[in-house]
Amino acid sequence: MKFAYGCTRWVFLTKRYAIKVARFRIIRPFIRLVSLVKKHEATETLELYDASLIKAVLKYVGAGILANRNERRLYKKYGGEFLAPTLFTFLWLINIQVRGEPSKEEDVRRHRLWHVLKGNVAFPKGILHPRQFCVIKESPLLADYGDETLEPILDICRN
């Protein structure tokens, strides 16, 4: 078993599955908030998450849960044409996804998402990086799709 982690989740990689466990960012938000208050940037930064201060803090602290929820919802909506299959979720705390082979740059360029987004700077940061994808049955699939801003982009991919 291998272990990896991102900004919002820990990932346990078995031979067949990627098990994504939501991380709670408890201490870091408060350290970051103090830093932003000192720089007089707190309001602008929190508004990136939500107009409501309380919702913004909850979205930041619980970002792993939101990512798991979004992956489950988006997979149900779009299926496996573009996305690695999310098989199961437990209270959005844990997602179980089919594990594919690591992807390369040329794999990403074969994905419909690359064709939709190439040359467009208004998309989630790093989404076209090979580590965001995997290859299952020779098809490149997006493996990390918990960002809620992906939905309109996936709508374009579908059409």
Q: Secondary structure of the chain in the HEC alphabet?
A: CEEEECCCEEEEECCCEEEEEECCCCHHHHHHHHHHHHCCCHHHHHHHHCCCHHHHHHHHHCHHHHHHHHHHHHHHHHHHHCECCEEEEECCCEEEEECCEECCHHHHHHCHHHHHHCCCCCCCCCCCCHHHEEEECCEEEECCCCCCCHHHHHHHHHC
* pLDDT of amino acid 29: 67
| Same domain (yes/no): 77, 122 | yes
| Same domain (yes/no): 73, 13 | yes
| Domain total of the chain | 2
| Same domain (yes/no): 38, 85 | no
120 backbone φψ class: left, alpha, beta (φ>0; ψ -120 to 50) = beta
| Same domain (yes/no): 69, 79 | yes
| Same domain (yes/no): 78, 124 | yes
Instruction: State both tokens at 78.
Output: 């779009």
Task: For residue range 123-148, list pLDDT tens digits in order.
Answer: 777 888 899 999 999 999 999 999 88
| Same domain (yes/no): 17, 34 | no
| Same domain (yes/no): 42, 117 | no
* pLDDT of amino acid 122: 67
* pLDDT of amino acid 79: 86
Angle 46-52-53 from CA coordinates, rounded to 5°: 55
| Same domain (yes/no): 48, 105 | no
Question: Which segments in the chain show pLDDT lower than 50?
Answer: none
| Same domain (yes/no): 95, 148 | yes
| Same domain (yes/no): 76, 147 | yes
Which domain, by its residues, includes 99? 2-23+63-158
